[in-house]
Amino acid sequence: MQPGLQRGAPARRRVKRYEALAARVQGMIQAGTLPAGERLTSVRRMSRQQGVSVSTVTAAYRLLEARGLIEARPQSGYFVRASRCHRVPAPRVSRPSSRARVPQVWEVAQQLAEAARSDALVPLGNADPPDALLPAAGLMRRLRGLGREATRAVNYGNPLGEIELRTQIARRMLQAGCTLDAGDLLITHGCFEAVQLALRATCQPGDAVAVESPVHFILLQMLQVLGLKVVELPAHPRTGLDVDALAPLLERRRVRAVLCTPVFHNPLGAVIPPPRLRELVRLCATHEVPLIEDDVYGELGFGLERPPVAKAYDPDGWVLHCSSFSKTICPGFRVGWIAPGRFADAVRRVKFVTNFVTATPLQLALSAFLRDGAYERAVRRASRSYATTALRCRDAVARHFPSGTTVSDPQGGMVLWVGLPEGVDGAALYASALEAGISVVPGHMFSAQGRFRNYVRLAFPHPWSDALGAAVAELGRLATGLLPS
Amino acid sequence: MQPGLQRGAPARRRVKRYEALAARVQGMIQAGTLPAGERLTSVRRMSRQQGVSVSTVTAAYRLLEARGLIEARPQSGYFVRASRCHRVPAPRVSRPSSRARVPQVWEVAQQLAEAARSDALVPLGNADPPDALLPAAGLMRRLRGLGREATRAVNYGNPLGEIELRTQIARRMLQAGCTLDAGDLLITHGCFEAVQLALRATCQPGDAVAVESPVHFILLQMLQVLGLKVVELPAHPRTGLDVDALAPLLERRRVRAVLCTPVFHNPLGAVIPPPRLRELVRLCATHEVPLIEDDVYGELGFGLERPPVAKAYDPDGWVLHCSSFSKTICPGFRVGWIAPGRFADAVRRVKFVTNFVTATPLQLALSAFLRDGAYERAVRRASRSYATTALRCRDAVARHFPSGTTVSDPQGGMVLWVGLPEGVDGAALYASALEAGISVVPGHMFSAQGRFRNYVRLAFPHPWSDALGAAVAELGRLATGLLPS
């Protein structure tokens, strides 16, 4: 199915000089090498030292300023801001029970999703890209450009999806370490449909599926409706799924499939490091258990490199890789894809009886959007915005939440996982936040076992603003008010 | 869910004068009142008699000529053609076994669908609208017109579907006798997705579903992949499902749902008459069994009135009505709908975990297309073409197929159901037709019991042409060659 796969390290995306410089300085700040209050090397000197232009250094410093890491002081230059981030510890590694359970989250999840969507609330609940970051005009221009292909656009297309789009996606996936071609891909109505097809193609109702703990509640909703049980596995806030904990489950044939988000996990923002990820794929292949990979956030990294996906280490096709354009450029187009590996026939069957094929015109417009580089620009613009907001949001949590709070350090995506001090209930914070006009998601939603009761998830899709800052401060005050006396 | 429903008879669609006149004359020809060879009343006299203009009569006669019912003879006027149609009997009512079976049609159906799609064949296999009948330019114009709503078009829309489109569909469904409103509808990625959601919302794997015999093989494929069994019910070639045969099944709780195509059944072209349809709905409601109605061909009638659908007689919401724009104007848009009645919550759940919502921009373009009347024009144009081709194709079968052949008399849609004389194998005819460069579908595909071995289905989506005529003649020769000696 996918010959000659899995050779290389992930391709480096073309990074502008100022971004690279900013990333290096940011690394030094975060490591504490450049402590709070430290004056940065002047623009001219940095330019000479690094052999780059003055405007490159200026752009890099401006980017770090936008991220809230440094501040300009009149006549004095740039200084490292007094961030409290490094003093807030990460949440602990989760330790869920390994019993299989039927998720029962539907009703609450629907209500929360409803609440998270309300326009009247400060939006820290919903993790969907805001209008401001979607390249709407450009996409509609590509759609208008289909006039010459009108007949093709309104009739049924290729059952696998339009070849132009599959080709563009295969090329793009090189950056994630995959050497697929168009024939390895099937276009779907979004990533969620891809994951659903993968589950229906590999599991029967009553089967158990292994997931990370915490796990996005929307996946729990899907598992519930499909009649599947879940086994939750420990996950590290920075390195994701605990692969060692999976091995005994597979040995005892306790799960039928593994459903996992190796890159920019929601809600942790974790990335499984390449050696562990390779080991995860090897383990699944050894036990002949399908690994369903949800990579919907994979393009939204804050760093210079696109982390490799599980599919990059999958010579035998046990990985069903799922993704879409819904978190990057066009949720409303409902276009995603699956690279189903050895399960291609079964996935095609389920896709066929679900809705035959995916809508033609949107695929054609998207392939043009990818081909001419507009996609790359839109994704980079969005990722830059999320990277900045992540730092600002994290800093605001560090400043305003009570002592004892823990917070994740996401490497991509648009969510923060916040652990509240002992005795503070996430659902209580959710409720008082809602009264104060702020939407968040309580932590217990992210487990079929009702775990994470002292957590909340903050989503930060919107560009940082004073209103968001004030809302995080208010959340901190509310959390403080909930401390047991 | 649907208050104040089910009052009226179906609304009469606005019919042009010449169409009404042509329909009356056609009725007289088909009833034998005007026999073959009869000279029609002259245009001028008909104009005086009917109190319509000369051009109206001319248009009516031209339409009947296009349908192959009359022919112009120089200096003599119009004459009824020597059609053999009325001499070919209809196929018999089916008498399937009432045992529940797991359909096993996937592989063959896929191969056939593949073969039916080949561009190299004379297309009598596939029942999809041809490019020539799709209003591609008009639809793309509406899509281009979305520029002002670009942001809305690329982001997630309403989980039920865009309100404008649901409103237009509800208005349109008045013609089929339904008084629904937008809140009763959920937009899906096509009718097939709607049917799939209905089945998943009402049945569990292993359950049995009642269907007409014959039944479109694509529904058998869906039932097979969903792990459902089928019980086949007798169906009349003109009046469809034998409702009396259903009653004992429901009484003995042998089926979990009924899946049925009351209007323009594929392959029969049958329509369940309103009193029987009302009885069918009543029966299902009494036994609390959901009735899943596939109305995807409902707009493609040859007559003056749009037959009412089961949903028109459903005060208690036991009917899940499914349809789409895929057989009328835009298969590639993948937009359909379901009116799920009392199963709305369950259907929404399954839709949510399938792909959240349906693509936004296509819904917006379609609502504009319906609103300004372009849909009505496109559907009428297509139906007229199918009505003409149906007569021509049926006439050609009557002329060229061996004695002992039976043929359906479809009232809408784009397929003919042809029974071959005793001893002629439909699969053998399929195979020799394929060799002769003609695609048809063998009858045994339309049953999970392998019935209808001496049937073939001819689809006639394409406007009638000499090539189609020659292909039907060739099929007749091939069938004759297969007669037992």
pLDDT digits (tens, 9 = 90+) for B329-358: 999 999 999 999 999 999 999 999 999 999
CB contact residues (below 8 A), chain B span 130-189, against chain A: 131, 134-137, 139-140, 143-144, 146-147, 150-157, 188-189
pLDDT at A6 over 50: no
Determine the Cα–Cα distance for residues B460 and B442; give it in Å rounded to an integer: 15
Share of chain B above pLDDT 90, in %: 75
Determine the Cα–Cα distance for residues B329 and B140; give it in Å rounded to an integer: 12
Beta-sheet strands, E only, within A281-325: 291-294, 319-324
Confidence of residue B14 (pLDDT cuts 50, 70, 90): low
Q: Which chain A residues have a beta carbon less than 8 Å from that of B129?
A: 155
Supply the pLDDT for residue B13.
56
In this complex, do B190 and A360 lie within 8 Å of one another by their Cβ atoms?
Answer: no
Give per-residue pLDDT as tens, B422-459: 999 999 999 999 999 999 999 999 999 989 999 999 99
Supply the pLDDT for residue B84.
61
Determine the Cα–Cα distance for residues A154 and A281; give it in Å rounded to an integer: 40
| DSSP type of residue A424 | -
Supply the pLDDT for residue B39.
86
CA-wise closest residue to A268 among A419, A483, A85, A450: A419
Report the residue from A137, A189, A225 with minimal CB separation from B189: A189
| Mean pLDDT of all residues in B245-265 | 95
Report the residue from B139, B154, B356 with minimal CB separation from A136: B154
In this complex, do A334 and B359 lie within 8 Å of one another by their Cβ atoms?
Answer: yes
Cis ω on the peptide bond leading into residue B267 (within 30° of 0)? yes
How would you write A98-145 as a 3-class SS string?
CCCECCCCHHHHHHHHHHHHCCCCEECCCCCCCHHHCCHHHHHHHHHH
Q: Which chain B residues have a beta carbon less than 8 Å from that of A140?
A: 146-147, 150, 153-154, 361
Which value, in Å, is the radius of gyration of the alpha carbons in chain B? 22
To the nearest whole Å, the CA of B147 is away from the closest chain A CA by: 6
Give per-residue pLDDT as tens, A224-277: 999 999 999 999 999 999 999 999 999 998 899 999 999 999 999 999 999 999
Which of A126, A148, A224, A334 should we substitute to test contact with B (largest number of B Cβ atoms within 10 Å)? Answer: A334
Supply the pLDDT for residue A105.
86
Distances (CA, A) of B318 to A65, A316, B283, B340: 61, 47, 10, 8
Q: What is the dihedral of CA B349, B351, B354, B359, to 10 degrees?
A: -140
Q: Contact at 8 Å (CB) between A84 and A46?
A: no
Q: Which chain A residues have a beta carbon less than 8 Å from that of B356?
A: 190, 192, 334
Of how many residues is chain B composed? 485
Report the residue from A135, A357, A359 with minimal CB separation from B359: A359
Which of B126, B349, B353 should we substitute to test contact with A (largest number of A Cβ atoms within 10 Å)? Answer: B353
Per-position DSSP letters for B311-360, written without gaps between them: GGG-TTS-EEEEEESTTTT-GGG--EEEE-GGGHHHHHHHHHHHHSS--H
pLDDT at B4 over 70: no
pLDDT at B99 over 70: yes
Give per-residue pLDDT as tens, B267-298: 999 999 999 999 999 999 999 999 999 999 99
Confidence of residue A13 (pLDDT cuts 50, 70, 90): low
Q: Contact at 8 Å (CB) between A236 and A93?
A: yes
Closest-approach residue (CA) in chain A for B206: A205
Determine the Cα–Cα distance for residues A431 and A444; give it in Å rounded to an integer: 13
To the nearest whole Å, the CA of B330 is away from the closest chain A CA by: 5
CA-wise closest residue to A21 among A74, A86, A78, A85: A78
To the nearest whole Å, the CA of A311 is away from the closest chain B CA by: 23
Per-position DSSP letters for A335-377, written without gaps between them: -EEEE-GGGHHHHHHHHHHHHSS--HHHHHHHHHHHHTTHHHH
Supply the pLDDT for residue A9.
42
Query: What b/e string do you get for A116-131 counting C-beta neighbours within 10 Å, with b at 16 or more?
Result: beeeebbbbbbbbbbe
Q: Which chain A residues have a beta carbon less than 8 Å from that of B351?
A: none
CA-wise closest residue to A342 among A362, A320, A360: A320
Provide the total of helices (H) and of strands (E) in chain B, helices listed first: 16, 16
In this complex, do A222 and B356 lie within 8 Å of one another by their Cβ atoms?
Answer: no
What sign has the CA pseudo-torsion B359, A447, A397, A307?
Answer: negative
CB contact residues (below 8 A), chain B span 92-111, against chain A: 106
In this complex, do B333 and A134 lie within 8 Å of one another by their Cβ atoms?
Answer: no
Determine the Cα–Cα distance for residues A223 and A232; give it in Å rounded to an integer: 13
Supply the pLDDT for residue B184.
97
ipTM over 0.95: no
Look at B87-96, B198-207, B222-231, B322-331 and tell me which has the smallest mean pLDDT: B87-96
B311: tokens are: 């949903």
Q: Contact at 8 Å (CB) between B361 and A141?
A: no
pLDDT at B100 over 70: yes
In this complex, do A196 and B334 lie within 8 Å of one another by their Cβ atoms?
Answer: no
pLDDT at A82 over 60: yes
| Mean pLDDT of all residues in A187-202 | 98
> Taking CA B77 as the corner, what is the angle to CA B74 and CA B78, rounded to the nearest 5 degrees?
110
Confidence of residue B2 (pLDDT cuts 50, 70, 90): very low
**Whole-number mean pLDDT of chain B?**
91
pLDDT at B7 over 50: no
Containing B442, the helix (H) or strand (E) segment is strand B441-442
Q: Which residue has the tokens 């003599």?
A: B76
Give per-residue pLDDT as tens, A387-438: 989 989 999 999 999 999 999 999 999 999 999 999 999 999 999 999 999 9
- With 0-12 CB in 10 A as exposed, 13-18 as middle and 19+ as buried, what is B33? exposed
Q: Contact at 8 Å (CB) between B124 and B473?
A: no
A374-400 vs A54-66: helix crossing angle, rounded to 10: 50
Supply the pLDDT for residue A74.
78
**Whole-number mean pLDDT of chain A?**
91
pLDDT at A121 over 80: yes
Look at B26-30, B81-85, B153-157, B233-237 and tell me which has the smallest mean pLDDT: B81-85
Give per-residue pLDDT as tens, A328-357: 999 999 999 999 999 999 999 999 999 999
CA-wise closest residue to B449 among B91, B90, B93, B95: B95
**Predicted structure pTM score:** 0.89
Which of B104, B131, B133, B155 should we substitute to test contact with A (largest number of A Cβ atoms within 10 Å)? Answer: B155
B271: number of Cβ within 10 Å = 25
Supply the pLDDT for residue A251.
94
Determine the Cα–Cα distance for residues A358 and B48; give it in Å rounded to an integer: 55
CA-wise closest residue to A226 among B353, B423, B36: B353
Determine the Cα–Cα distance for residues A31 and B230; give it in Å rounded to an integer: 65
| Mean pLDDT of all residues in B84-104 | 83
CB contact residues (below 8 A), chain B span 254-313, against chain A: none
Q: Contact at 8 Å (CB) between B209 and B256?
A: yes
To the nearest whole Å, the CA of B162 is away from the closest chain A CA by: 11
Closest-approach residue (CA) in chain B for A147: B140
In this complex, do A332 and B143 lie within 8 Å of one another by their Cβ atoms?
Answer: no
Give per-residue pLDDT as tens, A287-317: 999 999 999 999 999 887 899 999 999 999 9
In this complex, do A143 and B349 lie within 8 Å of one another by their Cβ atoms?
Answer: no
Stronger pLDDT, A113 or A138, i.e. the higher one: A138
Containing B64, the helix (H) or strand (E) segment is helix B54-66
Residues contacting residue A3 through CB under 8 Å, at least 6 positions apart: none
A466-481 vs A426-435: helix crossing angle, rounded to 10: 130
A372: number of Cβ within 10 Å = 12
Q: Which chain B residues have a beta carbon less than 8 Å from that of A461?
A: none
Share of chain A above pLDDT 70, in %: 96
In this complex, do B154 and A139 lie within 8 Å of one another by their Cβ atoms?
Answer: yes
A417: tokens are: 């996982």
Per-position DSSP letters for B118-184, written without gaps between them: -TTSEE-S--S--GGGS-HHHHHHHHHGGGGGHHHHHS---TT--HHHHHHHHHHHGGGT----GGG
CA-wise closest residue to A418 among A189, A214, A262: A214
Which of B110, B128, B143, B222 should we substitute to test contact with A (largest number of A Cβ atoms within 10 Å)? Answer: B143
Q: Which chain B residues have a beta carbon less than 8 Å from that of A152?
A: 332
Determine the Cα–Cα distance for residues B20 and B477; give it in Å rounded to an integer: 37
Residue B442: strand pairing partners: B456
pLDDT at A10 over 60: no
Supply the pLDDT for residue B118.
78
Which of B197, B354, B369 should we substitute to test contact with A (largest number of A Cβ atoms within 10 Å)? Answer: B354
What order do you get walking across the sheet with B406-407 strand by strand? B406-407, B415-419, B455-459, B441-442
Stronger pLDDT, B349 or A37, i.e. the higher one: B349
Confidence of residue B467 (pLDDT cuts 50, 70, 90): very high
Confidence of residue B3 (pLDDT cuts 50, 70, 90): very low
